[in-house]
Amino acid sequence: MTDTVLFLLVDGLTNGLVYALLALSLVLVFTVTRVVNIAQGEYVMLGALTLADLLQGRMPGTLYLLIGGLVLCAVLDAGRWRRDWRRASLYTGGLIVAGVAALAVTRGALALQLPVIGMMAVALLLVAPLGALIYRFTVHPIPNASTIVFVIISVGVSMSVQGLGLLIWGANPYPVDPIAAGGVMMGPVFIPYQSFAILITALLAMGGLYLFSEFTLIGKALQASAMNRLGAQFCGIPVNLTGALAFLLAAAFSAVSGMLLAPLITANYEMGFMVGLKGFVGGAMGGLIDYPLSLLGVMIVGGLESTSAYVASAYRDVLVFSLLIPILLWRNTRARAEAR
Amino acid sequence: MTKLLEIANLTVGYGEAIAIDDISFSVARGEFVTFIGPNGAGKTTLLNSLMGVLQQTSGTVTFGGEDLKALKPEARVARGIVIVPERRELFPGLSVEDHLRLGAFLRRHEGRAKMAAALERIYALLPKLKERRKQLAGTLSGGEQQMVAVGRALMAEPQLLMLDEPSTGLAPRITEEIFEAIDRLKATGMTGIIVEQNAHLALSVADRGFVLEVGNVVASGGAESLRQDPRVLAAYLGAGDRYREAMTGTETIPRAEEEG
Amino acid sequence: MNARAMLALAVSAVLLIVPWLLPSFYVGIFAYAGIYALAAVGLVLLLQAGQISLGQGAFMGLGAYGSALVARAYGVDTMVTLIGSVCATALIAALIGFITLRLRGHYLPLATLAYGIALAGVFTAWHEVTGGASGLDKIPPLRLFGFELLDDRLYTQLIWTITLLTVLGLSRLRTSRTGRAIATLEAHDGLARAFGVDTTVLRVKVFVFSAVLAALGGALYVHLLRFVSPSPFALLTSFKLLIMAVVGGPMSAAGGVVGALAMEGAQWTLQDVLARWGLSGNLEVIVFGLILVVVLLKWPQGLWPAVERWLPKPSLRSREGDSLPRSTLSANRDEVLLRLDDIGIRFGGLQALKGVNMELRRGEFVGLIGPNGAGKTTLFSIISGLLRQTTGRVTLFGRPLTADHTLIRQGMARTFQHVQLMPDLSLIENVALGAYCRTRAGFIRGLLALDGEENRQALASARAALERVGLAAEADLAAGSLPLGKQRIVEIARALVADPQILLLDEPAAGLRFSEKLTLVRILRQLQAEHVTILLVEHDMELVMGCVERLVVLDRGRIIAAGSPQDVQADPAVIAAYLGGGRDKAA
């Protein structure tokens, strides 16, 4: 019995950590831009499949997505600089340099056959900028649209990106090497090294976000925009800069989450949606604004999931999601009491 | 004196409602002007429109020779127009020093030494902020929050400092402290617009004043002469004659004329 | 019959003939489009009431499984099972709605997502009964009064007839008493309650009706397909329906139909075109997603408003004849209507009001003034039942103050500091909301247009009120198109339709021009002559001084002066509170 409990605990914790990165992404995006990003899970898929490609020595399709996005960005912004040739050439030049750099880094990494960690870094470099590009294409043009419009737009983004995933990688699942193979017996429970890797990477990522937010001025600006948009504008902080940055960081976090998850479940083009959903459920328990509560939320989701899988696997989702409602009712009463 | 800010026939509205109705004035470099008037006179609307948060309906606003019309708030900050907003608009979870650093966000490439020097200048002007430098803004008292808002604005090295109701909700002693800091700023040659409900307070720091009443300037002049002006009291407490005459029982109501 | 109705009739006729013109493969697609439209129309109503649901697919599933399983297992007539299944879903929805509709913010959509997934999960997991993921076949066909509906074209006509009748009913509902109340639910909860709408109950009703449409769609779906499996009712369908509602335009029931046709049309056209070009099916979803993004970037309000701009205007409902009767108010000026005893309220550490005593006698015109932050708004909120005082007692007509949505029935109406009108509705519709507390027709009567006489009276009263305030000529303009000054006057007209004895006015002159203020003052004077009691909170001192009989001055949460305008104007405490004490060292 204790064995089972221990196993479930470890399993739930591992799941929870993976969803935690996603929940953090959602909270980050929502607080800074007020967008409930249904497409967040797609970066999980992109991260996992990009890593799979890199580990098998193939040029990842993500690179072409990135270059296509940069070109589209240059086209859309061409009009903005019509009269200012210096800034126009600087801007376009920057986009070209970014594209070439991405290509060079990818080729270099493939030639050097970097270890898993190195390839993860390269994959991150390819996926994260996509977040900022998506912001430029879908949020930047209509800053004052309603929540529901952004929700549906992000559904559209999710569909397109998932379709692109299918187009690039096909429907087959890809195996992804873990950061470390094997595992260790701790007392009665076998714990794979990947679980430790997930724990360490997740903590590093969260620690990184913390350091960035606390010790850089840009990080502070991001926090400031999340706390008070108008106040941030009065400081001269451009809304579009922080919005794009939030999307970029969120894409990075979700991609890391995908790269950690992939070795456990194999990567495929439709893995993002369900993971995204669970991250959303966790994040939404904190009202999409509260980081610690969101972490608690995803841990609850992770725990419920592994427990219900053990109890009655057919009713797994039913149980997880039915248990959510009482939790929500409780949270709602608390939130209202705090508002008073 | 050169004109830093020139405003001609400025009209600002929320949708169809006119909040600022065809106002013209200018502010010279090194001058402090004030807009006084009761609540709802359009004082905050005026500053928000100068800041670019509200779109102007018509008229022109020229700052240092440049038309501001198309500029977003952050671009106006970059040109040196900085506001201390009425509701302070602080970041509750950030420390006092964070606020000051963020105030200098657009000057972040000037280097550490300059930032440190700028911080020291603010701490010298508002010593209380130095004591509280590590404290989160959300936990400060109202007066301290007001000082943070002032300090944050000054960190941007404004050409034009706009203060929106700096005395709102503050105890007289704290208000005095804030206004002493404004006095010192003025002595350094700072240009400013101060908007206040507390007329006596505002006229004590300003060189010139304008009395706003529901979107219109009803009186203006040197601070000293406005202090004695009966129109100031009337703007706040109203005479009521215009309405008393208009009311003669229950005859059918004529439709309000289209725009008067 | 006006041009709009003829056009609607013509379009409906085309939609009903289309099944006979299509190749049989497309008949099925067209039938499903009709079913989606029905469920999406339900979602549109829900969105209008400010609720986002990701559980609509699950309600379709409940309707579908309920009818299919009972009909298959017990051989019960499918018309009976269909109706029974829809009723059962309504009960379940009422229960779920009762539990979840108290949720706010993101918690509500999250809850819909939760039960949506959970219910859909049951369809798969309970395979002894539902056949699990592989589903059940041999579902009996639909029998209508003993006639077996086996022809797909006929069935498709039935589906579209139901969908179109629903749209017709909902467009009637929109201009009914309940419809006006629903329109306030999204953005104006306080407004709805101030005019006597029990918003909690109304929200549940809207939720149940929307679930009924989904369940009906689901049941029609299984008896058409004659096969039931969980996948059509999974989360993806809920998303699809939400997309249809938002893309079509959640402002109007027709938006649901437009959205369903546009989305289904786009999907099948894409599939066709891409296949013809020899491109892989993978492209379809990519392009579909892109279209979705681009359409919403271009038309954030949805497609229907973009189409409707070109259509003739709908006909107006009658507002001729008698108004609702107005009560004659007594002229006894000694009667105390509202009484505040020692009112105090704390917010956290802040004592916002302390020891406030005040009386409002019949026919009085009292002004409540004070500088910024004096506590006027707080006091106003306590009187109108939105806030509860920490200490003291409020007595209205001799009884303790009750819940906010009951006050208007007792005779106390109000206007709002920030104008609360439905910007897309006409003036007369906005004003007719004032009659909510004096009329009775509910959801069903509104839907079936059985509210004719009563609705006519309400609209006639609204028109009369608009005439009184001088806005009769603008009665059919959208409220949002009027200048703010007139919008404020509209608020007063709306309050008048409720036939109040006490009128609370919260800064009615803010943002008005002088000519508009003059109109306002004249209206108020006329009301006073009719013995309506008025409490006015206002910043424009000239206006206040010029029209009230008595003033109460608040400063820092306490009453610092009370009396005639002349006395108050000369009161040194008032002058100090308004102009400020200045500085010790000053001058």
pLDDT tens string C320-373 = 888 888 888 888 888 999 999 999 999 877 888 999 999 999 999 999 998 877
Residue C344: phi and psi, rounded to 5, are -140, 150
* Residues B6 and B74 grouped into a single domain: yes
* Residues B69 and B194 grouped into a single domain: yes
The gap from C-alpha C386 to its chain's centroid, in whole angstroms, comes to 19
Which residue pairs, CB below 8 angstroms and at least 24 apart, start in C2-9?
C2/C312, C2/C313, C2/C314, C2/C315, C3/C312, C4/C311, C4/C312, C4/C313, C4/C314, C4/C315, C5/C314, C5/C315, C7/C311, C7/C312, C8/C168
Q: Is residue A134, in this structure, part of any structural domain at all?
A: yes
Contact B83 A234 (CB under 8 A): yes
Contact C286 A160 (CB under 8 A): yes
Cα C289 from Cα C293, distance rounded (Å): 6
Domain spanning C412-499: which CATH class is it, in words?
alpha beta
Q: Is residue B131, in this structure, part of any structural domain at all?
A: yes
pLDDT tens-digit map of A11-70 = 888 888 888 999 999 999 999 998 999 999 999 999 999 999 999 999 999 999 999 999
Domain boundaries, chain C: 3-233, 335-410+517-579, 412-499
* Residues B17 and B110 grouped into a single domain: no
Decide: C396 and C412 in contact? Cβ < 8 Å: yes
Contact B176 C584 (CB under 8 A): yes
Q: Is residue B183, in this structure, part of any structural domain at all?
A: no
**Nearest CA distance, C482 vs chain A (angstrom):** 22
Decide: C53 and C70 in contact? Cβ < 8 Å: no
Q: Is residue A286, in this structure, part of any structural domain at all?
A: yes
Q: What pairing do the DSSP bridges indicate for beta strands A183-186 and C336-347?
A: unpaired
**Nearest CA distance, A72 vs chain C (angstrom):** 14
Say which residue the tokens 């000239």 belong to: C542
List chain A residues with CB under 8 Å of C286.
Answer: 159-160, 163-164, 167
Q: Is B216 helix (H, G, I), strand (E, B) or coil?
A: strand
Tell me which residue range forms the domain holding B148: 89-157
- Among A228-232, A293-297, C376-380, the range scoring the smallest mean pLDDT is A293-297
B201 Cβ neighbours under 8 A, 6+ residues apart: B167, B175, B179, C580, C582, C583, C586
State the helix-helix crossing angle for B96-103 and A217-227, rounded to 10 degrees. Answer: 100
Strand order of the β-sheet with C336-347 is C350-361, C336-347, C391-396, C399-400
User: Which residue in C has a C-alpha nearest to residue B204's C-alpha?
Assistant: C586
User: Does ipTM come in above 0.85?
Assistant: yes
Q: Which two tokens stand for residue C445?
A: 């009567």
For chain B, the helix, strand and coil percentages under 3-state DSSP, each to the nearest 5 = 40, 25, 30
Q: Which of C471, C521, C581 lies at the smallest CB-CB distance from B246?
A: C521
CB pairs under 8 A between B and C: 147
- As a whole-number percent, the residues of chain C with pLDDT over 70 amount to 98
How distant, in Å, are the alpha carbons of B63, B237, C521 from that of B215?
A: 22, 16, 20
All chains having 3 or more CB pairs closer than 8 angstroms to chain B: A, C
Tell me which residue range forms the domain holding A332: 2-171+192-339
Q: Is residue B220, in this structure, part of any structural domain at all?
A: yes
Indicate which CATH number applies to the domain containing B2: 3.40.50.300
Written as one string, the DSSP assignment of C171-223 is HHHHTSHHHHHHHHHTT-HHHHHHTT--HHHHHHHHHHHHHHHHHHHHHHHHH
Q: Output the pLDDT for position C435.
A: 94
Q: Output the pLDDT for position B255.
A: 40
* Residues B153 and B165 grouped into a single domain: no
Q: Is residue A260, in this structure, part of any structural domain at all?
A: yes
Mean of the per-residue pLDDT values of chain C: 91
Q: Is residue B180, in this structure, part of any structural domain at all?
A: no
* Residues B103 and B147 grouped into a single domain: yes
pLDDT tens-digit map of A165-207 = 999 999 889 988 888 888 888 777 788 888 888 889 889 988 9
Q: Which helix or strand (DSSP H or E) is residue A184 part of?
A: strand A183-186
Task: Give the number of domains in chain A.
Answer: 1
Cα C240 from Cα C236, distance rounded (Å): 6
C435 Cβ neighbours under 8 A, 6+ residues apart: C177, C324, C457, C458, C461, C462, C497, C498
Question: C135: left (phi > 0), else alpha (psi -120 to 50), else beta?
Answer: left
Q: Output the pLDDT for position B1.
A: 56
Q: What is the CA radius of gyration of chain B?
A: 20
Q: Output the pLDDT for position C582.
A: 60
Q: Which of B167, B179, B240 lies at the smallest CB-CB distance from C542?
A: B240
Residue C537: phi and psi, rounded to 5, are -105, 125
Q: What pairing do the DSSP bridges indicate for beta strands B208-213 and B216-222?
A: antiparallel
Per-residue pLDDT of chain C (587 residues; tens, 9 = 90+): 688 889 999 999 999 999 999 998 899 999 999 999 999 999 999 999 989 999 999 999 999 999 999 999 998 999 999 999 999 999 999 999 999 998 887 788 889 999 999 999 999 999 899 998 899 999 999 998 888 888 999 999 999 999 999 999 999 999 999 999 999 998 878 899 999 999 999 999 999 999 999 999 999 999 999 999 999 999 989 999 999 999 999 989 999 999 999 999 998 888 888 888 877 667 888 999 999 999 999 999 999 999 998 998 888 888 888 888 888 888 888 899 999 999 999 987 788 899 999 999 999 999 999 887 788 889 999 999 988 999 999 999 999 999 889 999 999 999 998 889 998 889 999 999 999 999 998 999 999 989 989 999 999 999 999 999 989 999 998 888 787 778 899 999 999 999 999 999 998 987 777 778 888 999 999 999 889 999 999 888 888 888 899 999 999 899 999 999 989 988 888 888 887 766 654 33
Q: Please name which of C536, C539, C530 lies closest in space to residue C511, comparing C-alpha atoms.
A: C539
Cα C437 from Cα C447, distance rounded (Å): 19
Say which residue the tokens 């997502």 belong to: C113
Q: Which two tokens stand for residue B79?
A: 């040109």
Cα B177 from Cα B147, distance rounded (Å): 9
Domain spanning C335-410+517-579: which CATH class is it, in words?
alpha beta
User: Which residue in B has a C-alpha nearest to residue C544's C-alpha?
Assistant: B240
Q: What is the CA radius of gyration of chain C?
A: 29
Cα C256 from Cα C263, distance rounded (Å): 10
Contact C292 A315 (CB under 8 A): no
Q: Please name which of C165, C154, C120 lies closest in space to residue C224, comparing C-alpha atoms.
A: C154
Outline where C22-132 has alpha helix (H).
Answer: 24-48, 56-74, 78-100, 107-125, 127-130
Say which residue the tokens 């639910």 belong to: C185
Q: Is B221 helix (H, G, I), strand (E, B) or coil?
A: strand
HEC string for C127-149:
HHHHCHHHCECCCCCCEECCEEC
Q: Is residue A178, in this structure, part of any structural domain at all?
A: no
Cα C578 from Cα B233, distance rounded (Å): 9
Please count the other Cβ atoms lying within 10 Å of the Cβ belonging to residue C419.
21
- Among A133-142, A281-290, C469-478, the range scoring the smallest mean pLDDT is A281-290
- As a whole-number percent, the residues of chain C with pLDDT over 90 amount to 65
Q: Is residue A185, in this structure, part of any structural domain at all?
A: no
All chains having 3 or more CB pairs closer than 8 angstroms to chain C: A, B
* Residues B133 and B225 grouped into a single domain: no
Length of chain C: 587
Question: C166: left (phi > 0), else alpha (psi -120 to 50), else beta?
Answer: alpha
* Residues B198 and B225 grouped into a single domain: yes
Q: Is residue A88, in this structure, part of any structural domain at all?
A: yes
Q: Is residue A164, in this structure, part of any structural domain at all?
A: yes
Q: Report yes or no: B103 at the A interface, CB cutoff 8 Å.
A: yes
Q: Which of C286, C291, C301 to mutate to test the interface with A (most CBs of A within 10 A)?
A: C286
Decide: A238 and B102 in contact? Cβ < 8 Å: no
C446 Cβ neighbours under 8 A, 6+ residues apart: C172, C173, C176, C177, C178, C179
Cα C146 from Cα C140, distance rounded (Å): 13
* Residues B125 and B64 grouped into a single domain: no
Per-residue pLDDT of chain B (260 residues; tens, 9 = 90+): 578 999 999 998 776 667 888 999 999 999 999 998 877 778 888 999 999 988 888 999 999 999 998 888 999 999 999 999 988 999 999 999 999 999 999 999 998 999 999 999 999 999 999 999 999 998 998 889 999 999 999 999 999 999 999 987 787 788 888 999 999 999 999 999 999 888 888 999 999 999 988 788 888 999 989 888 888 877 777 655 667 665 544 344 444 333 33
Q: Which two tokens stand for residue A276?
A: 């995204």
Which residues on adjacent β-strands are paired with residue B95?
A: B136
Task: Give the single-character DSSP code of C434.
Answer: G
Task: Give the number of domains in chain B.
Answer: 2
Question: C77: left (phi > 0), else alpha (psi -120 to 50), else beta?
Answer: beta
Q: Which of C372, C578, C583 lies at the smallest CB-CB distance from B201?
A: C583
User: Which residue in A has a C-alpha nearest to residue C112's C-alpha?
Assistant: A325
The gap from C-alpha A276 to its chain's centroid, in whole angstroms, comes to 8
Q: Which helix or strand (DSSP H or E) is residue B9 part of?
A: strand B3-14
pLDDT at residue A120 above 70?
A: yes
Contact C579 B200 (CB under 8 A): yes
Decide: C389 and C343 in contact? Cβ < 8 Å: yes
List chain B residues with CB under 8 Å of A231.
Answer: 85, 88-91
Written as one string, the DSSP assignment of C538-582 is -S-HHHHHHH-SEEEEEETTEEEEEE-HHHHHH-HHHHHHHH---
List chain C residues with CB under 8 Å of B179.
Answer: 583
Q: Output the pLDDT for position C585.
A: 44
Question: A47: left (phi > 0), else alpha (psi -120 to 50), else beta?
Answer: alpha
E strands along C348-491, which residues? 350-361, 365-369, 391-396, 399-400, 412-414
